[in-house]
Structure formats: C-alpha cells, structure tokens
Amino acid sequence: MQSVEVLVIPRLPDRALAQIANVERRVKIADAGGWFDVEIRATWPQWTVDRYLGARKYPATTLEERNRALAAAEVVLLGWPPLKDLKARARRLKWVHALPAGASNFFDTDLWGSDVLVTTSRGFTNRRPMAEYVLASFLHFARGLNFSYRDQRRRLFDHQSYDPVLLRDKTACVVGAGGIGQEVGKLCAAAGMRVVGTRRSVTTEAAPPAGFARLEAPRALYDLLRESEFVAICCPWTKETTKLIGREAFAAMRPGTVLVNISRGEIVDEEALLDALAAGKLRGVALDVYVGEFERPPDARLWDDERVLITPHVSAGTDVSEHGGVGLFCANLDRYLKGHPLENVIDWERGY
C-alpha cells in the first residue's frame, strides 16, 4: 500500500494533526509547522510579516531540509501567508489545500493558473462572527455611535448629529450571497431587516436562501443598491469584482447608505469611495479590508474620516472558533485517496 506524503506547513495543534493522520493508514504526515517562516519573512512585505507572524519564534531549519520536505510532498496543507514558489519546489505535488477562504491569496504565487489542484476553505470559515461584524457595523452607524468618539475627545456633546435610524424594515443588500453572505442575510433578517442580494449563479426555480426576500444575478446590482439603505460586500475578489463598487455603484446608492466590506479591499474603488464621502453620500463605512492591506496602512484620508471605521481584517475573529478548514481538508483527503472529486477546487478562470 503506497503512502501519501502530506506536508503540513502551518502550525497546528496536536489534535488537528491526529485528525488528519486518522483519515487513512496511507497518510504520512510531515509536520513542518513554522519551518517556512524564515522564507515568508524574506518574501512578503514587512507589514504582512508584522501582522501575521509577529515576533513568534520559528524552528531552525536549512534550505536543504525545507526543499527535501517539499520535494517529497504529494499533498500540502497551507496557512497564511502562502509560499510563493511552492509548485516549483514540489515536483510530486498534486494537491494543495488552503485553510483560509480566499482564492485571491494565490494571485502572487506560482500556483495561480497551474495544473495543481488547489482547494480553499470557502464556506467553512467563521461565518457567524463575520455576519455579527456586519450587523454590528450597521448598528454602529445607524445609532450614530461613531460620533461618540468625537464627543469624548472634545468632552462636548452634539446631540443632533447622532440622528439615529431604526434597522427594522430597512433593506440590506448582500453583495455575494455565498456561505458568508447567506449567514449575513440570516442575521440581518433576524434583526427585522428586508434582505436582498446578488450571487453569480441564480436559478429562477429555486427559492432564495433563508432570510432573503430577493436574490438576483450580478447584473441587477445597481437596481438592488437603489432600494437598499445598508450594503454588505461578501463576494470573492476576482477579475470581475475588481472595483465592482465604483462610481456607478455609489451613484446608484441612496443618500445615507451604510457600506460594510468584509471581503477584499480591491472590490471597492477607494477614490470613488472618497468622492462619495466628500459628497456626503454615505452615512458610514466599515472596512475590515482595504486596498494594499498586506503591504501598508490604510489611506490616511479614510483613517481620518469619522464616518469610516477601519479594522485589521479581524471580522472572522472569535473566542469560539467555528472554522472548519481542517475538517474540510480531512474530508477532501478521504475523497483524494478514493479517487473522488474534491470540494472547493479553485476554478482559475472563474477566480474562486
């Protein structure tokens, strides 16, 4: 019985490694947790290194040891940030699974567009925490809580500027009603909101997902924006969604719209966003992501605006993790060993 060499690059707890090993007797795990930190530090921007690796210590390994581990691997489990030259160094490589959800994480690596099967944890990440982030952001601006920071700094209240609005019966547009977007829709509906949204594949025969009053193809986006007071961006970053929320989208939005982005910064045209803010079009903007977030701080004009809330890609963070990435990897590993199709394979043309 031929063994299958699985190289685990992120640092995983022993119980996760045991879960993988128990999939089948043929599975042979090479635990390389932290081995490649030295290469990631050398090839990724310092901003990314500081944000995701920090000052954590990593095992002392040689380049020869790391290359030998890659050369033996048939399957690789990746975390974030990924190795940029993985394919070139892993000549036996057949399949890579990424614990994060975003296919766009591979844009700057030699895996993008390659003949290697690459799967992600799309739909298996912490959906509920991300949905709570969206609803919290809607409430933050609906109640005018952003103005409390200003008043606290100057020790003077401006009661009239808060101008609170009620979420109940308002319309929320979910741009990208996949796994995360559907969770956002359910939570907003539970708060009494009317929920509409877009999804790449929509069939007229199927009922909308739970909580949604209306689900349309992407071409209907502007129509949905015209009837929405709140907008949540949950779609993946692809060629088609780059700057999807641009000048035309902002023009279609109602005055006083609240916009929340929990996907990728590149989906929003930031210059168009700044112009919309300058024109007084938006009540508030919550950005858990921004353009160039892995390389630099946010644009100072966004950071300085009291109508903009910016957080460092933490919407999925929670004290109770519901991340199912390792579970999906184990299920896919069983499929792989049996020669069955894998779930969540990236379609390079589609972009996710």
Q: Mention every residue, 6+ apart, whose C-beta is less than 8 A from residue 127.
A: 179, 180, 183, 322
Whether the CB-CB separation of 230 and 256 falls below 8 Å is answered with: no
CA atoms within 13 A on the CB side of 2: 4
Q: Given the structure tokens 């015209």, which residue do they identify?
A: 226
Positions marked active-site: 264, 295, 313
Closest CA to 74 of 94, 56, 60, 88: 94
Q: How far apart are CA 275 and CA 250, in angstroms?
A: 9
What the block records as the tokens of 172 is 């929320």
Length of the chain counted residue by residue: 352
Structure tokens at 220: 């209907």
Beta 282-287 vs 308-310: how paired, if at all?
A: parallel
Q: How far apart are CA 52 and CA 294, in angstroms?
A: 10
Q: Which amino acid is at 212?
A: F
Alpha helices in 241-344 (DSSP H): 247-252, 270-278, 300-303, 325-338
Degrees to nearest 5, angle at CA 276 with 271 and 278: 95
**In contact, 242 and 264? CB cutoff 8 Å:** no
Whether omega before 81 lies within 30 degrees of 0, making that bond cis, reads yes
Alpha-carbon span 260 to 135, nearest angstrom: 9
Q: SS3 for 313?
A: coil
